[in-house]
Structure 1
Amino acid sequence: MKLRRKPTAWTPAALVLVALCATSCAGQDDDAAAPATSPSSSTPHGYVEGAQEAAEQQSRLVLSDPKTGDTRVLDLITGKRHRTSRTTGTAELTTDGRFGYFHTAENTRVLDTGAWMVDHGDHVHYYRAAIRDVGRLPGGPGTRVRSDAAVTAVTDRDGRTSLYRRADLEKGEAGSSRTLPGTHAGAVVPYAEHLLALTDTGGATKVVVHDRAGKRVVTLDAECEDPRGDAVTRRGVVLGCADGALLVRESDGTFTAERIPYGEDVPERERATAFRLRPGSDTLTAPAGDRAVWVLDVTERAWTRVGTGPVVAANTAGEGSPLLVLESDGALHGYDTATGEQVSRTEPLLTDVPEAGAEGAAGPVIEVDRSRAYLNDPSGSRVYEIDYNDKLRIARSFDLDIAPALMVETGR
């Protein structure tokens, strides 16, 4: 394992997400599209009842003002803004790539955004369908939702986990749930047709693998002290730990855990505790205190600490793309992770910027897909679309009738 420390230079989960493959039924919405073909005795490959398959990614942004409860879904293909029912008291907004989860003090509202992708490895299917409300799941503040193609795991702040059938959510209802035995530290993550849970075992927190029925399959011989943060990548599940990360992988039915240490003592306030990434990427980002960003290259098993200005939000598309950092000057800065040098910068885009390291889930974030990045401006009631491959050029801006303090992207 190696640590690459870059020179300091001035210039976010969910959960990740996961590619989904299942059936969806359209609801009542003027954006609902009829299926391109009808089911028959020879159902076309990739056919999903009630959805339209598209040749390109069908990205949508879910936007919410937690003060008023107003919510919009912005279709990035058509530019159309869709109203949805209000959700008051939303403390956090997360997604699993299709559904938006509005975490309130009482429960979690589920919104089907009608945009998702199915990754078959050698090819990808993109779908669009109606936007509709699904209902509410138990669990207030601190609830973490993680999904795969078959199951959605909902872990409350006390570590209790309920398992829901993914097919029920796709039909527009929450359905019944099963309870995973025990309590867990951090989110329970569906992965490789199993469930990964961090559980206290003999005084140490270790990764326990369950099958989908909840039966314990194996406990991995790797500790994760003070776990915080997780992400699903193509190379496995990354779990944030006090001394770095664990990479949990499955191969031919065997699960392993590999440690990726920082390589040096890192103060608690500079730990990576919440990961941001482009879905499908193997490059993760996380603030490293107030004036730096951690970049974790899962392929190389290497951490890089990039010195920046005061960090408000950060993300990257990975694979040679710049590290994107919103700093306290209101501008978006681009850094070369190989050298640590600032390579691009926008004019100030936000006028009311939170302080670096400010507590709270509401505020500017950077969402990244394969060609564009999106930055929400709550005080300016707009969203910026940035071409990160063209010196952070502002490709489009979307004016809104709400203050979008919460934002996630679906369809990826």
Structure 2
Amino acid sequence: MQNSRTIVPLAVALALSLAACAGADDEGTDATGAAPAAEAPTAQGPAAGRPAGAEASGAGHGAIDGAEEVAEPQLHLVSIDSDGAVGMVNLLDGTVSGPGAIAPPSAVTSDGRYLFAETGEGVEIVDSGVWTWDHVDHFHFYRTSPRVLGPVAGSGPVVVSTSANATTGGTGLFFPESGEAVLLDNQALSRGRIEEVFRLETEPHEGVTAPLGGGALVSSVDDSGAVTGVRFHDSAGAPVDGAAAPCPDAQGAITTRVGVVVGCADGAVLATLDGDEPTLEHVPYPDDTDAPRATDFRNRKGRPTTAALAGETGFWLLDTREKQWWHVPTAEPLVQVSASDDADRHVVALDHEGRIRVFDGAAGTEIAATEPLVAAALADPDSRNGVDLTVDRERAYVNDPVGGVVHEIDYRAGARVARSLDTPTAPDFYAETGR
């Protein structure tokens, strides 16, 4: 398996990273758009551009006992078959491993390190053992042994919302059938333990538990059972006075470079932290469109712009720095969209025919498209739910449960299919980790 990514000598890269905090991403900029200097929090507020929920100190740059810091991201594909067998393939050298098995999954969500698999009895967590620590203007890369961490009890489907970094903050689980809102401790997960920060009982509803700092935004309902808003709960699960906002029919959440987004029927709530103080701001939809609302937000991890489907009309883009929405119509209906978030607001999409399409969101034009790659999987109700699109800085990935491969697409170069990768287990579900 050919490695198309540049490998920097380990000793040189680590010396630069630790001594000078070099290696900024092409978009590691502050809210003004300028490249920041080394992070320097002040008493007046958080460092500009710090990922929501990240600690001001960097918390040891994401290091944990027993983990090795390395020179480049340890990108892996983690595949889970319909029976729950888990396999991993290293995208750098092609080596494979098998960390274990879980109960048969029905859906999988990932934050770039962990896989949260919905099962018949709750959520099972797989730690891929590879992650990237985002320190605003630079990154640190780690690896340790992968393992299956175990289950979190819950009833029915689950909505999973993740944080910016895998070793701080939390991961939110919301079980609509029971109304239980659960916040998991990411620091404990990074040490191999499943610990609940809180578990709240609410009325059953379609809602969210969106992690922010040491607590989370939880959707709230009125006396009639309608979802009317979101409220910030601290690490004890207690609602914080003054930290609530209207958000009718709250659905969908994502953590961006700027803060936490929760989708609402009339736009979104953008939540940020100033020290430990949460601020919740309404970002309304533009007045000149009646396109269907956004509910499933996706982006290249840690970027300020996020994309979401606008029904079959096209997609939405939300820039959380500018606090502005754009509706981009498309000629073909889409299945999934993800913002890759460069200067041209590029978006990578999967359409109903199984093609990967690349759009210039600023111009509203299509740049490139593949041939159909996962048409049979999308046409099959048994496999459709497992098909997933992931975008990193250089590549996009989409799994084909019917064909038994994961396609790697160079979306920056004409949507070229760079590789079609075999995985150790059938890729009925998958995630790219190490991001």
TM-score, length basis structure 1: 0.80
**Alignment correspondent of 1:352:** 376
Judge which range, 306-315 or 126-135, deviates more: 306-315
Q: Following TM superposition, by how much is the alpha carbon of 1:198 offset from its aligned partner in structure 2, in angstroms?
A: 2.0
**1:313-328 residue pairs with structure 2 within 5 A?**
313-319=336-342, 320=344, 322-328=346-352
**1:144-223 residue pairs with structure 2 within 5 A?**
144-148=159-163, 149-157=168-176, 158-175=178-195, 178-180=198-200, 182=202, 186-200=207-221, 205-220=228-243, 222-223=245-246
Aligned partners of 1:18 and 1:147 also within 8 Å:
no
Aligned partners of 1:377 and 1:405 also within 8 Å:
yes
Q: Distance in 1 between matches of 2:346 and 2:260?
A: 23
Q: Does 1:85 align with 2:107?
A: no
> Please, which runs of 5 or more residues in structure 2 have no aligned partner?
1-50
Residue type of the alignment partner of 1:197: V
**Alignment correspondent of 1:340:** 364
**Alignment correspondent of 2:125:** 110
Q: Distance in 1 between matches of 2:322 and 2:113?
A: 30
Q: Distance in 1 between matches of 2:172 and 2:284?
A: 28
**Alignment correspondent of 2:74:** 58
Judge which range, 305-314 or 162-171, deviates more: 162-171
Aligned pair count reads 371
Aligned partners of 2:161 and 2:254 also within 8 Å:
no
Q: Distance in 1 between matches of 2:323 and 2:379?
A: 31
Which of 75, 79, 101 lines up with 2:116 in the alignment? 101
Aligned partners of 2:162 and 2:255 also within 8 Å:
no
Closer, same or farther: CA 361–284 of 1 in aligned 2, 3 Å:
farther
**1:2-151 residue pairs with structure 2 within 5 A?**
47-66=63-82, 68-148=83-163, 149-151=168-170
Aligned partners of 1:222 and 1:257 also within 8 Å:
yes
Q: Distance in 1 between matches of 2:375 and 2:277?
A: 51
Closer, same or farther: CA 57–245 of 1 in aligned 2, 3 Å:
same
Residue type of the alignment partner of 1:154: L
Q: Following TM superposition, by how much is the alpha carbon of 1:296 offset from its aligned partner in structure 2, in angstroms?
A: 1.6
Q: Distance in 1 between matches of 2:230 and 2:301?
A: 23
Q: Following TM superposition, by how much is the alpha carbon of 1:202 offset from its aligned partner in structure 2, in angstroms?
A: 7.2
Q: Distance in 2 between matches of 1:133 and 1:87?
A: 7
Q: Following TM superposition, by how much is the alpha carbon of 1:80 offset from its aligned partner in structure 2, in angstroms?
A: 2.4
Q: Distance in 1 between matches of 2:162 and 2:74?
A: 20
Q: Distance in 2 between matches of 1:175 and 1:194?
A: 14
Q: Does 1:390 align with 2:413?
A: yes
Aligned partners of 2:162 and 2:254 also within 8 Å:
no
Using CA pairs below 8 Å that are at least 6 residues apart, which structure has the higher relative contact order? 1
Residue type of the alignment partner of 1:230: A
Cα-to-partner distance string for 1:274-330 (whole Å, 9 max, x where unaligned):
111111111111111124122222222222222221212221211235321222333
Closer, same or farther: CA 397–122 of 1 in aligned 2, 3 Å:
same
Q: Does 1:368 align with 2:391?
A: yes
Q: Distance in 2 between matches of 1:195 and 1:280?
A: 18
Aligned partners of 1:278 and 1:316 also within 8 Å:
yes
Secondary structure of 1:273's aligned partner: coil
Residue type of the alignment partner of 2:71: A
Q: Distance in 2 between matches of 1:150 and 1:333?
A: 34
Q: Distance in 1 between matches of 2:240 and 2:280?
A: 14
Q: Distance in 2 between matches of 1:322 and 1:162?
A: 34
Q: Distance in 1 between matches of 2:171 and 2:353?
A: 39
Q: Does 1:273 align with 2:288?
A: no
Q: Distance in 2 between matches of 1:221 and 1:150?
A: 20
Q: Distance in 1 between matches of 2:63 and 2:101?
A: 33
Closer, same or farther: CA 400–116 of 1 in aligned 2, 3 Å:
closer
Residue type of the alignment partner of 1:322: H
Judge which range, 219-228 or 182-191, deviates more: 182-191
Which of 299, 323, 329 lines up with 1:307 in the alignment? 329
Secondary structure of 2:318's aligned partner: strand
Q: Following TM superposition, by how much is the alpha carbon of 1:233 offset from its aligned partner in structure 2, in angstroms?
A: 1.0
Q: Distance in 2 between matches of 1:238 and 1:296?
A: 9
Kindly indicate which of the two structures has a greater share of residues assigned to helix. 2
